[in-house]
Structure formats: structure tokens, C-alpha cells
Amino acid sequence: MTDAMKDAAERAAVLVEALPYIQRFRGAVVVVKYGGNAMVDPAIAHAIAEDVVLLRAVGLRPVVVHGGGPQISELMARLGKEPEFRDGLRVTDAETVEIARMVLVGKINRDIVAAINVHGPIAVGLSGEDAGLILASASRPELGFVGEVAAVNPAILHRLLAEELIPVVSTIGSDSEGRPYNINADTVAGALAESLQAEKVVFLTDVPGLLTDLDDPDSLVRQVTAGELQVMLETGRLSGGMLPKAAAALHAVQNGVGSAHLLDGRLGHVVLLELFSDAGIGTMITKVAAP
Amino acid sequence: MTDAMKDAAERAAVLVEALPYIQRFRGAVVVVKYGGNAMVDPAIAHAIAEDVVLLRAVGLRPVVVHGGGPQISELMARLGKEPEFRDGLRVTDAETVEIARMVLVGKINRDIVAAINVHGPIAVGLSGEDAGLILASASRPELGFVGEVAAVNPAILHRLLAEELIPVVSTIGSDSEGRPYNINADTVAGALAESLQAEKVVFLTDVPGLLTDLDDPDSLVRQVTAGELQVMLETGRLSGGMLPKAAAALHAVQNGVGSAHLLDGRLGHVVLLELFSDAGIGTMITKVAAP
Amino acid sequence: MTDAMKDAAERAAVLVEALPYIQRFRGAVVVVKYGGNAMVDPAIAHAIAEDVVLLRAVGLRPVVVHGGGPQISELMARLGKEPEFRDGLRVTDAETVEIARMVLVGKINRDIVAAINVHGPIAVGLSGEDAGLILASASRPELGFVGEVAAVNPAILHRLLAEELIPVVSTIGSDSEGRPYNINADTVAGALAESLQAEKVVFLTDVPGLLTDLDDPDSLVRQVTAGELQVMLETGRLSGGMLPKAAAALHAVQNGVGSAHLLDGRLGHVVLLELFSDAGIGTMITKVAAP
Amino acid sequence: MTDAMKDAAERAAVLVEALPYIQRFRGAVVVVKYGGNAMVDPAIAHAIAEDVVLLRAVGLRPVVVHGGGPQISELMARLGKEPEFRDGLRVTDAETVEIARMVLVGKINRDIVAAINVHGPIAVGLSGEDAGLILASASRPELGFVGEVAAVNPAILHRLLAEELIPVVSTIGSDSEGRPYNINADTVAGALAESLQAEKVVFLTDVPGLLTDLDDPDSLVRQVTAGELQVMLETGRLSGGMLPKAAAALHAVQNGVGSAHLLDGRLGHVVLLELFSDAGIGTMITKVAAP
Amino acid sequence: MTDAMKDAAERAAVLVEALPYIQRFRGAVVVVKYGGNAMVDPAIAHAIAEDVVLLRAVGLRPVVVHGGGPQISELMARLGKEPEFRDGLRVTDAETVEIARMVLVGKINRDIVAAINVHGPIAVGLSGEDAGLILASASRPELGFVGEVAAVNPAILHRLLAEELIPVVSTIGSDSEGRPYNINADTVAGALAESLQAEKVVFLTDVPGLLTDLDDPDSLVRQVTAGELQVMLETGRLSGGMLPKAAAALHAVQNGVGSAHLLDGRLGHVVLLELFSDAGIGTMITKVAAP
Amino acid sequence: MTDAMKDAAERAAVLVEALPYIQRFRGAVVVVKYGGNAMVDPAIAHAIAEDVVLLRAVGLRPVVVHGGGPQISELMARLGKEPEFRDGLRVTDAETVEIARMVLVGKINRDIVAAINVHGPIAVGLSGEDAGLILASASRPELGFVGEVAAVNPAILHRLLAEELIPVVSTIGSDSEGRPYNINADTVAGALAESLQAEKVVFLTDVPGLLTDLDDPDSLVRQVTAGELQVMLETGRLSGGMLPKAAAALHAVQNGVGSAHLLDGRLGHVVLLELFSDAGIGTMITKVAAP
């Protein structure tokens, strides 16, 4: 067997290994939450765009959700707007939510759409305000326009997905009087996945997955059930940025989403590998123990 | 006849007068270009939102296009960005187009969507970058990211209109490599109207209509054919802000749009009155003389 | 503000006031029972035709039902046919029902269709015999071919409404052997409204609405619930021509029709005003008290 | 072979003989003009109703057109209305056309619908006034409301046929102002067949078919081309009631109708036999000689 | 009345007699099990092909199922393959099932398809292996590849029937690993009829119907309910080839099939006569006594 | 970078490399001609089944065509049927074509269907006789039932492909009287590809591709235009089994098929590699030189 033939056989093997996953996930909705450093490294942004395009090409229906805290802070700083915190949470006045909206909807969302649309006219940017997608309510009145998801109307997502378009969603919601609220992106990703009864929700993070000790990569949990995760949350074994992701993942799998995944977004193409290969990667959360 | 009966008769007469127009424009696409002071007066913004909602309610298919020059300048000023002009045209470097995009897509578009969606989940904000709606090319290289419309792909508009949604379009286009360009909103409104073969394109302005003498309201032209308008443009009878509107209107009616209208956006409900009453209002441009 | 502008503002206000009603009644079926003097005054006939055309134009689905007792009597007289009564009810032999059918289906129905079709090819005349629309049974054998509604098969109405056509229904039904029966038009209007689960059934009468004292216009009842109306009927507070209308209205709202209305058909455009303005008009019957 | 078996074999042979015709005429529109004595003999009326029901049952799409001259005359007489003739043609004033309309739409049409609907809720009566089916113009002004077919709008027929309903058409048309006209039924049958591009138009008459000598049944023409028929018409070889049928048949086959047939309506089930057996029957007119 | 007219009247009567059956069975699925001597007599094969084509032509949806035991034995003999029996049942090793499959799928199925397709491109041959139509399991392990119906996936039949094609099914099923099994054709016909919720399943046999004494044609049972048939089976009143047919018929009518029929396939056109005439023929099995 | 990460990166690279091909070939029809030794080696048969399943999984529409000369000869030998040749071509009498049909339709086709259906109920076996797929005519009368493709009616293929089923076609055609003919499989593959206007037709052979010297693998031609191939054929540079494949490929690309490919079927997964990787493999024939 020549080298060329060996190489060909290996390539074929990868494609053939993907076959059962492609058949299984045909038509499935996958919500990808995209944030953190992955968003600022152009090479990774490019890899993630390729991943969602490939998902769509083989028949899945990806939805992208993004946040953008650091970029909001940066524009606030440039505009001389002093951040104010209460109990460690940012107070969001009317001007702050306008700035957040400009950054999320008018900059970050646009950059993701542009990265995808290099492959064809297939991505459409959305805010939670469009077609009533996300009805928001104030999370805690003293924090101003920090919102919670009061209700999701997924009609516009169903329409775009039916046309094989990729929705890219900024996490701004509006209340019944049209006022905008900024909402945590992990929470939104989970809520959209639930309302779409998605097959998977994938949270891209800056760590290898769910770590019981943030400083020790070896504390990575490969698989965990909803019940086990709940215990972890209740016994305080998780901390920091792990918390909203873990909570959103838990809520999602308890409400009809097939599985939730915490993957290391700093590596390229993790979404692809998680979906289409036998390689175990990051952390998988399911309602009950996977068979 | 009591007063109540007289009032009732008058109300009925208005509705009945609207009947033939409603029948005639059933299913027709109407592009409304929205800009200038109309955009900063909340009462007028509210009235225009009501108008497009009523258009949709009686079976038309409105598309809103907006600009936002003054608001862009304001944010640039706040960010300490010095505007630079060449031949009276603003030079738009990469940072400037990012600021323009944040203001248009992330603020003005959002406000219009919110004003409409108070009536129901029916408006969806779009940028020309979404689903390849507007392919842009550099207008003049030395001006940077000032764009022209190279091509329109109206598929996403057709999809949203078919679902009875109201697209609200920001005038950012992207080139084949995904770089954003800022494009004149009058030009975009005309180009979208053409590509949709709209029944009407309506430009809301800060003057009563097409004036041959900007300082003299009595110089209002009520009706004009494409041929006559071309002569006006060629003989220099129009000036200032009239020029891009007149040029876009002329191009539109010469390329399949039923009629173009210049209306005084400072009055409330002008779109409604133009469409559904016998009252002549503003300026109407048609390919040939209306019968 | 000039007079023209004031007038324009008032016109716009009427249209804007109609907006929430148009949105709310989109796609709703409205059955209009048309009879009495309204039918013999050409101006009113013209106004009612305009009303149903406008209803359709803004997205409702009107169905017209008509009677024609006086016109039947007139042709009988001309043909030298002596009317015969038992207990105050007309005995309808085979010849009489043939005459009734000729007048209803071959004359009155035709005139209504013609008045509507001046606005476009949108009305279609039907008899209850067409496509099995109304299965009739003898009301009281000794009265001959006076019928009751035994069953309604609304398939043909659904088909025509789906094509945005306006059915105009004559109140002749047939039994399983194809024999025609003449049926009270108020009863038919109510039965069709029920079988279509209509939003509204509107009875046009020769009085201002439901009067507890037929001679006193001030005894007009503006709003009444099914329960209250039942009490009125049981306590004999209603009389004469009020009875079949009140009974049909009561049955309809108790069986799924949103509301029933008794309006003064002698005024023009009452249907329009009832549906599209805030003006209270005639009598509204609902299952429970309106909020 | 027993008698029962022989009988069974003969029955099977009839059905099998029908097979190629059923396959060939699948989905084909057949216009049946029904008039003369066939209409007054209940047994024949019953047989014709069975025929059109069977046509529909095996996949054809029959349309019935009827006249009713004698019945109109009869009602006029009863109403003391003196017929007036000019050049042998009846003058039709406004009252006369109202009477004609009552008889055609309100009586004869109803009887045919009833005869068919004994088999199921499948027939729908129409006048040429419904949904703009027949636009009429005055044939000769001095004759009053005697009409010609100015235009056919077959949309309503297509809709009913698509729902597998059988339209039964009265030959009243209306002009653009909604005035009714009485039109010759043979002409209407031909015009509808043309506008539907029917496979066949069948004229039921009181004679065995096209006779060159009305008094001699042996002068029956079995098959004739458009060219030959035109010569017959031009050389005066046809007369009386043959003329409008021959003219309508000729016009139809020259304008896209597959074939026209003159059959003896006094026999039962002639339509069935013409369509589904090898038996030559009546007269067949085709554009060119049948192969 | 001439002879020709009498003949015409008789032909018409046969067609008219068929009318109510055609109306009643419109769109109904009829499974025809075809086997025995009918299959080897070309004239009968031709008649049966005509029957199923006529069924389809008048709107029914026939499905043909066939067996072929004698032909399998013949090819085995030619290939020198010794048949082996256990308890009177043929042992089917891998080679035997390959031979059975070649004969059924590659010869008999083809001949039936060809006989039908002379009438048009309307028959499609299927094996139970196609598109997972019949999942088989081993009937008794010691018999080898003799199968039972484990499950039916009728999707491919629904698809072909929706396109007005006639499926012709060979009774080979496959297990989950793709191994073929030979299954009794009567059983398959019943199972397909059940899974399609067929109106009728017709078993063509070499006797006049269900005989309680196989040697006495007078012992023919004309009509029998499921309950009565069950008693017959339990009390051993049936024997030989009657048994699988009777069992399949019983199971079918107990599981949603309208009626089952045992007809004498040696007569031509029995299927036609059973369906479209008043003639009682063969044996009809229904769940409860027919009214 | 760990080994696992390197391996993951390599796997991702293969999938990403496939992306543009998947996008480009979305919905494209690919005809795969399958024959020779590939058909007798179970591992290769398994690999080819996986390939067509993967093609379908990512949105292409594969059609499989197969021959089976050696297997036909084998059964003939077992049945003691002496092959007879004329000018080197096999004479095919009625018995021979029956044997060929049993082997092709009843054995080889079945085995391919079974291999695919292990992955799901997605393959359907067809003969050219089904639904009039292939109309055959005698190639040369003295050869008997050796056929040529007279016409292709691809309707049944379009129907199955629209349902995402994989047609597997045996190369038996029938003439207008239903007689079967055996047709060369390369010719059929080309004819089906033409009639489907396929993107590609792939011929799997026992050599590396088009060889100018059958004994020298180095004489492999990688790419060739229709013009160049025609010259090769005309100047006798090709011989043996190359001839029918080359002729079919040439005809196909000259009649609307995007490209034809000769691949070494003895290697596993060649179809996959040809379609989804940048690796040049076998011989590609296009109408004009590929860019």
C-alpha cells in the first residue's frame, strides 16, 4: 500500500466514522453559545464559522448565541462611562443598555454574521427584540436594565431554520413596552435550546470543560447526569464562570434538550469533533446516564 | 340626524373612501425610507410605526429603510473621532464604518423595531449584510468604506414578507470578503424597491416634497414624470438634499417601481394619507403621466 | 395648522382607530343577516355591499344571509295564489315553496350578488341546497314545506371563503330526497354562524337594536349577556319580530359564536361602524359580560 | 358455463370495454348542455343526473349548462306578460329578464342540482353572474336584455372542479354595471367549453343528432369535421334548432375543444354510452377527421 | 326499441349499477393476493391485470401480492436441489431461499409487472426487503429461512400509492441483518392489508370460495363473520389450503380491514365483479354481520 | 500539543476539507455503476454501500446501477444451458433472458439493497421494467433479447429520489409488448445519468482508471476532455472492457452530465474520496478542460 493510498484510507475512515452521527443528527437543532476568548482570536472565530457552516451543510440546524461583556466594558470606558456595581453585579442604566446593544447587535453579531457569510448568504443576525423573540423582565429592579428571560417566542427561529438559514442571536430582550434589557448569554442559549427542543446546546468556554477545581485541568468531568450536576451545584463544588453555564446546562437537559456540552472554545473545530467523531471531548451533561 | 349619527357617517365615509385603495394595493410592496427629523421626534416615530402596521394589517407588505447620519456624527464626536472630508464627502476609515454600523444596526434600527413591535411581534431588523442582502463595492477608493450597491439579493426580504413580517433595513452592505460599507439610505431604498418590483417607494423628508426652490414651499411640484424629473436634474433645478432622493426616485420608476413619493415626514401619518385617501399630498413621480 | 391639514389629521385618526380592530378580526368570519327595509332601499343596499367588500378587503371573511318574505308575498299575489295561514303561520304547499325559491334564489340573491360584484368578481350566490349546505326537515307537517335546519355542512362555505369569495346564501334547504323547504332567515344566519364558529353574527333590522318596548327607542339595550337575554325571552319582555332574532342570537353565542349584534339596517354602513370604530352601536349579545 | 357465469362475463366485458376510455378521459372536462324535452321528462332527468355523477366518479370533471325557454314563456304567460317579437326574436325588457332569471336560476337550476345531490353533496348551482363568470353585452340593442358572451372568467369553475364539485350553470350573464342578460344556452355551453379547454362539449337535443333533413332520421351525420360543417352551414343545409348548436359546436372545436357531440337527449344515459363504449352514437364533430 | 338500443341500455345499466360501488370505494386500498393456477393461465393473468388497472382507473388503490411455490420447486428440481421436509414443512437452507428469491422477485413478480404495464407505466415490483417493507423473523429455527412477518413498514407502499402506482409485492422479507426469508403469501397479503388499513383483501384461490367440504362445491359459504369463522377454524371444519387463507382473512378483519374475500381465481375478472356489481360471488368475511 | 489534540486536528481537517464539496454537490444526482470484482468481494461491497449511504446523508442523491455477467453465466452452466456466441457476442434466447433477469433482479440487486438497508430502510430495488423506466429495443435481431436503450422514463427515479430513497437498478428493459431484454450496464448507467442530468456518473472498474495500455498502470490518464477521448476511441488507442465504459462516459458528458469518472472499484471508498477530497483519483472525463 502506497503512502497516498494509506492517506486516502485514513481520510475515508474519518468520513465513514462521521456517517452514523450525520444520520443520527439529521435535522437536529444545535444551539452554540459562543463567547470568551474564542471570540477575540480571529483564527478560532474562523474555525467556529466553518463548523456551523459544515453542520448546516450536512443537514443539522445550528443556532448561534453570543455575549460580549469585555467589549461592552471597553466601549463604556471610551465613552467615559464609569461602571457601577452592586453586590458584584453591574448596574445597567438606560445609557449602559444602549451601549451594550450597540456593541452586541451592531458590532459582535455583525462580525459573526460576516465570518459565516463568506461561505454563502446563509447567516442572519437577530436581536431578542426581533419578532418578539425574547420577552424580558427586570432581573432585580435595583440593577436597572439587567434582564431575565420571561418568555421565548421561537417563531422567527423556526422560519429561518426552515429556510436553512443560520440565526445569530444577540442577547438583548425587550419588555412589553419595548424597553431593551441585557441578558446573560448562557441563560439565553439554554432558554432558546429549550424552546426549540434542541438536540444539543454547546457552551464554548475558556477551560477544557466542567472543572471541579478551576486551577486543575485534571479535575475535568467527562460526563455527568442532571442529578449529579445538581448535587455539585448545591454542595458548592462549582464556582466562578462555571456557575451560569452549569445552571443553564442543567435547566436545559431537565427541560427537553438532548444534551448540553461544555467545550474548550480555544481549540479550533471542537464543535465538529464533538458532533462527528467518537472522540470524547469536554463535558457532556445528560438527563440520565448515557447508555 | 343627530351629531353622533353625523360623526358616524363621516367616519364611515373615510373608511369607504379607503376601500378602492385597499383593494388596489392588496399584496403590494411599499418601501418607506425614513430619515431626518421624523426620526428624532418620538410622536412622529410613533405615527410612522402605526402607519406601517396599518399598511400590513390591510394586506400591503411594507419594508422600512432608514439612515442616521446625525446620530453617527454624534457618537464619533463622543469618541473623539475627528471627521475628515474630501470634496465635501466624509472619509470613512475602518473605525468610522464600525461606529456607523453600531449606530445604525445597534441603535436606530432597534428603536424602529421596538416602536413597531409594541403592536405585535411583527418587525425584524436587518442589515444589508444579512443573508447577502446588499453586496457593496467601494464608491470611491479614497473615501474608504463608503459603498455603492453592487447587487441586491432580496431572498431574505421575500421570505420575511411571505410570513407577513416587516423588515427594517439598516444601510450597511458588505463586499465579497465580508467587509462592511456605509451606503446612502435613499439609494438603498430605491435599489430595494427595484429589486422587489415594489408598487411604491416613499421618501420621508423634512420638506413638503420636491421643491424647485428649497426656500419657497410654494415651489412644490405635485406630480412629475420621469422625463420631466430628468430634465430638472440635468438643468440643475434641484439642489442639496433633494438630489439623492430625486435621483433614487427617478432610477426606481425607470426600473419597474410603480411610483415614487416625496412626503413631508414631519407631519404624522403622511404615508397613510398618501395611500388611502383621495388627498393629493407631497410629490408623486411616475414613469409616464398618471391618467 | 391649515384646514386641509386638520381634515387630513381627522381622516388619519379614523383609519388609525380602525387599526386594532382590523388586527383583532383578521381572518374572522362574520355572518351578516340582511333583510327588511334595508333590502328595498337601493342606497342602503349599496352601502351594505360596500361594507362587506371592505370587510373582505381588510382580511375578514364575510358571509351574507338574506330573507325576502314581502317579495315572496308579492309574486304570490301576482300569480293569484291565495296565502293561507294556520296559527298565524303561512302554509307552504309545493307551489308556494317553488315561488319562494324563485324569488329568493332567482331574484333577491341575484341582486345582492350583483351589487357586490360591481366591486370585483367576488360574490357567489348559494342556496342551502348547493353542495348539501343545509339539510332541512319539516318544521310542522301541517305547514307543508316550512323547514327547520336539521344539519349544516359548511364545506362549500369553507371552500369559497378560502378563495376569498363572499358567499351570499338564500335560505332554502333540502331534505334527503331533494325536496326544497323555506326556512326562517334569522335561524339560518345563526346556524351558519355556529357551524362556521364565526366571530360575529350581525342581524340588520328595522329598529335601533333590541328594544324592550318596540314603540320606545329609548328602551334600547346596549349590551346583554346570554343569561340576561334568556330571562328576557322567558319573561315575555320581547315581542314580535324581535323574537326570532333574539332566539337565534342567543343560540349562536351559546354555541361558540363570539358575539351577536342587532343593528339598525336603515342607517348606512352600520356593519362597518360596529366593527371598526370605538362607537357603541345597536345591541351586542355575548355569552358572558364583556370585559 | 352457467347462465350466471355468462351474465357475469357479459357484465365484466362492459366494464373492461370502458377501461381505455376511463384511462384516456381521466381528469378531462366535459361540458354537457342540457335542454329541450330531456329536461321535462323526470326519468331522463334522473338518467342524466346519474350520468354526470358517474363521469365524476371515474375521474372526469363534468360541467352542466342548461337553458329553459319554454318554462320562461310559461311563467310570463301566468304573469300576464305579453311576449313581443322582432324579426322572430323575443324582445326582452327589464321585467322579462327578471322573470327569465327567476325561472332559470331559481327553478330549473335548482331542480338539476337537487337531482344530482341525491347522490351526495356534489352539485353547486351557478349563474353567469357569480364571481364574474360570464360578462355579457347586449346582442342587439333593440332586443333589450338579450346578451352575448363578451368574456368568460372561468376561475370559479376551476375552483369548484378542483374540489370535485359539479357546477350547474344558468345562462344569465351580467354587464360591467351588474345588469343581467339572458343568453342562448348553446352559445354559453360552447363558450365555457372553450374557456376550460374542455375535452368534449355535448349538446343534448330532441333529435338523433345532426340531420341534414330534419324530417328524415336517416339523414343523420355520424361524424363531421369542422371544415365540412362550415360548408354545411354556409350552403344552408342546416336549419331551425340545428343552427345554434352547429354554430356553437363548430366554434368550440375550432378553439381548442377536443370534440363536440350532438346526442339524442330523449334516450337515457346517452352521455355515458358516448364516453365509455365503442358504440358510435349521435354526431361527433372534430377539428380534423378522427383517425 | 331496436336491438342496438336494447344493447345500449343493457351496457348503460351495468355502468350505472357500478356507480354506487365506485363512489363508495373511491380511494380505498384493495390488496389482491394472486396465486395458484390463476398465475399459470395466461388468459386469466391477463384478466387479472385488466382488473387491477380498472380498479386504479376508477380511483381505487390496488396492491398485488403474489406467491409461487410450484415455480420454486421446479427451479430447485432443475438445479438438482433435493427438497427436504420436516413435519410436512419444507426446510429452507440459504441456497433454497436464494432460489426462492430469484423465482419470486426475478421471474413471477416481473411477469405480473409486465402484464400490467402493457396498459401504461404504472406497476412497480417490490420485494419485502425494499425500503424495509417487511421485517422477517425465523418461523421455526429448524426450518431455516422460513419467515414470519415481524413488522411491516408501509411507507414505500404509501408513497407509490400516492403517485397512483400499483405495487406488486414478492413475499421475501429480511431480518435486521439483511438476511432474506421466504414467507407465506396469504400471511403477507393479510399483514399488508392490516398495516394499510385496507378496505378489502381479496384471496384468489382455485376453488369457488370457502368450502366446508373441499370436494363439494355446494358447501360454499357465501358470507361469514369473524366469530363464525373462528368457530369453524377451532372445530376443524376447514382443511388443507383453506387454512392459511382463512386464518389470514380472520386476522385481517379483526384488525381493521373492512372485509376479506375468497374468490375463484380461475374465472376471469372476479375481482371486478366482486367490487362493482350486485352479484354475490365467492365468500365474504366481515368482522360483524353485514347489514 | 498532545497526540490526541494532533489527531483531533487532523480529523477536523478532513471534515473541513470536505465542506466545499458538500456545499457544491448538495442535491446533486450521482449515478454509480457497480460491477466486476467489486461486486464479489464482501468487504468492498460493504464499503460501497457505506459510500452511497454517506452521499445521501450529506444531501446528494445517489443512484446505483449494476450488471452481473459472470453470475448469469454461472447459473446458465448449472442449468445445463450451453452459451452460444455470434461474432463474439452472446446469443440471448427467451430462456437465457429469463435466467439473466432472475440473477440480476432476483439475486444481485437484492444483495446490494440488503447491504445498504443495514443502515436504514432507504434502498429500493428496481428493474428497468418498473413504471416504464427503460424502454428497450432489440440490439441486433440475430442476438435475440440483447437490448438497447430506446428511451428512458425517469419519473420513478425522480419520485424515489424526492423521498430520499436510493434506487438500485437492474439493467433489464422491456419493449412495448412487455418482453424483457438484457442491456449492457455501462450503457444503462450513462443513459440514466443523462436522463437525470446527473452531476456525475461513476464507473467502478477493475483497473485504476482509463489506461492507454491495459498492462501498464503507468499509462493511466488522469483527466481527459470529451474531444480527446473521442480521438482515443477513433484511433483505436483503447481496447477490451475499456470500450463500453469510455463510450458511455463520452456520450454522457456530451449530453449534459457534469463529469464521468472511471475509478478502481477494488479499493474501498473510492467514491467518497473522489467526491469529498482534493485527492485526484482515477480518470475524470469532462466536456471541456476543467479549470
Single out the residue of B24, D18, F44, C228 nearest to residue E269, CA to CA: D18
Question: From the CB coordinates, do chains A and B have 3 or more pairs under 8 Å?
Answer: yes
Instruction: Please judge whether A4 and F269 are an interchain contact, meaning their C-beta atoms are less than 8 angstroms apart.
Output: no
CA distance D259 to D30: 10
Of C117, C165, C178, the CB nearest to D117: C178
Distance from CA of F131 to the nearest CA of E (A): 4
Report d(CA B84, CA B96) in Å as an integer: 10
Note whether A177 contacts B: Cβ–Cβ < 8 A: yes
Mean pLDDT estimate for chain C: 91
Which chains have 3+ CB pairs within 8 A of A? B, F
Q: Is E53 helix (H, G, I), strand (E, B) or coil?
A: helix
- Percent of chain C at pLDDT > 90 equals 66
Chain B residues closer than 8 Å to A107 by CB: 98, 101-102, 106
Residue E36 has pLDDT above 80, yes or no: no
Beta carbons of A58 and F54 less than 8 Å apart: no
E79, E106, E153 member nearest F121 (Cβ): E153
Instruction: For residues A254 and A264, give the distance between their C-alpha atoms in angstroms, rounded to a whole number.
Output: 23
Q: Which of B14, B57, B58 sits opposite C11 (nearest CB)?
A: B14
Please tell me which of the candidates F8, F58, F272 has its beta carbon nearest to residue A12.
Answer: F272
Give contacts of C17 with chain B, Cβ < 8 Å: 11
Q: What is the pLDDT of residue F120?
A: 94
Beta carbons of B123 and A131 less than 8 Å apart: yes
CA distance B264 to chain A (A): 27
Q: What is the mean pLDDT of chain E?
A: 91
Any chain F CB within 8 A of the CB of E64? no
Neighbours of C165 (CB within 10 A): 21
Angle between helix D109-117 and D42-57 (nearest 10): 60
**Local confidence band at E5 (pLDDT 50, 70, 90 cut-offs):** low
| E strand segments, C184-281 | 200-205, 210-211, 220-221, 223-225, 259-264
CB A206 within 8 A of CB A34: no
Q: Is the pLDDT of residue D277 over 90?
A: no
Q: What is the pLDDT of residue A161?
A: 97
Answer whether residue F232 shows pLDDT above 70. Answer: yes
| Residue B184 φ/ψ, nearest 5 degrees | -55, 130
Neighbours of chain C (3+ CB pairs under 8 A): B, D
Asked whether residue E1 carries a pLDDT value surpassing 60, the answer given is no
F159 touches chain E (CB under 8 A): yes
Tell me which residue of E105, E43, E115 sits closest to E72, measured CA to CA.
E105
Q: What's the average model confidence in pLDDT over D239-265?
A: 92
- Residue D26 touches partner E, C-beta closer than 8 Å: yes
**Predicted local confidence at residue B53, as pLDDT:** 95
| Span F209-217, average pLDDT | 85
CA nearest B55 in C: which residue? C19
Angle of the B94-103 helix axis to the B69-78 helix axis, nearest 10:
120
pLDDT average, residue stretch A275-279: 82
- In degrees, rounded to 5, the angle at the alpha carbon of residue C116 between the alpha carbons of residues C111 and C122 is 120
Residues of B in contact with C9 (CB under 8 A): 268-269
| pLDDT tens column, A146-174 | 999 999 999 999 999 999 999 999 999 99
Residue A137 has which C-alpha cell? 423582565
Interface test with chain D among C56, C96, C124, by most D beta carbons within 10 Å: C124
Q: Give the pLDDT score at B278.
A: 76
Cell 390488496 locates to: E31
Question: B156 CB near a chain A CB, below 8 Å?
Answer: yes
B partners (3+ CB pairs within 8 A) are A, C
pLDDT of residue C266: 87
Mean pLDDT across F20-28: 92
Asked whether F233 and F250 are in contact (CB, 8 A), the reply is: yes
Measure CA B121 to chain center.
22
Q: Please list, in sequence order, all residues whose beta carbon lies within 8 angstroms of the beta carbon of residue F92, skipping any fewer than 6 positions away.
A: F100, F143, F144, F145, F146, F182
Yes or no, beta carbons of B50 and C8 under 8 Å apart: no
C89 has a pLDDT exceeding 60: yes
**Which residue among D101, D113, D118 places its CB closest to the CB of C110?**
D101
The per-residue pLDDT of chain B, averaged, comes to 91
User: What chain A residue is nearest to F24 in terms of C-alpha separation?
Assistant: A57
> What pLDDT score does C185 carry?
94
Residue from A11, A58, A269 whose CB has the most chain F CBs within 10 Å, to mutate: A11
Q: Tell me the average pLDDT across D113-138.
A: 96
Q: Residue D5 — pLDDT band, cuts 50, 70, 90?
A: low
Write down the pLDDT at residue E10: 84
**Interchain contact E118–D (C-beta under 8 A):** no
Backbone angles phi, psi at F118, to 5 degrees: -60, -25
Q: Which residues are paired to A167 by β-bridges?
A: A124
E66 SS3 class: strand
Residue B83 touches partner C, C-beta closer than 8 Å:
no
Q: Which residues have a Cβ under 8 Å from the Cβ of A105 and sit 6 or more positions away?
A: A125, A127, A170, A172, B105, B106, B109, B110, B125
**Nearest chain B alpha carbon to C19:** B54
Residue A254 confidence (pLDDT) above 90: yes
Q: Classify burial at C153, counting beta carbons within 10 Å of its beta carbon; exposed 0-12, middle 13-18, buried 19 or more.
A: middle
Q: Place D291 in a pLDDT band, splitting at 50, 70 and 90.
A: low
Average pLDDT value for residue range D254-267:
94
Stretch D107-130: mean pLDDT:
96
Cα angle for residues D162, D168, D172 (degrees, 5° grid): 120
Note the pLDDT tens digit of each residue in F74-111: 999 999 998 788 877 778 999 999 999 999 999 999 99
Q: Check CB contact under 8 Å for D54 and E15.
A: yes
- Cβ–Cβ under 8 Å, residues F129 and E123: no
Give the pLDDT confidence of E150-190 residue by residue, as tens digits: 999 999 999 999 999 999 999 999 999 999 999 999 999 99
Helix axes C69-78, C94-103, angle to 10 degrees: 120
| Cross-chain residue pair D107–C102, CB shorter than 8 Å | yes
CA–CA dist E205, E39 (Å, integer): 10
- F65 SS3 class: strand
Report the length, in residues, of chain B: 291
Do the Cβ atoms of A107 and B103 come within 8 Å?
A: no
Confidence check: pLDDT of E91 > 70: yes
Pick from D15, D53, D272: which is nearest to E272 by CB?
D15
The amino acid occupying position F246 is A
Specify burial of residue C6 (Cβ count, 10 A radius: 0-12, 13-18, 19+).
Answer: exposed
Q: What is the C-alpha to C-alpha distance for residues D256 and F201, in angstroms, rounded to an integer?
A: 43
- Mean pLDDT score, E68-73: 89
Task: Compare F29 and B48 and report the one with higher pLDDT.
Answer: F29
Nearest chain E alpha carbon to F107:
E102
> Can you tell me the mean pLDDT for C225-242?
88
- Least confident range from A101-105, D101-105, D243-247: namely D243-247
Interface probe with A: pick from F58, F122, F273, F278, most Cβ of A within 10 Å: F58
CB contacts of F50 in chain A (<8 Å) are: 16, 19
Average pLDDT, chain A: 91
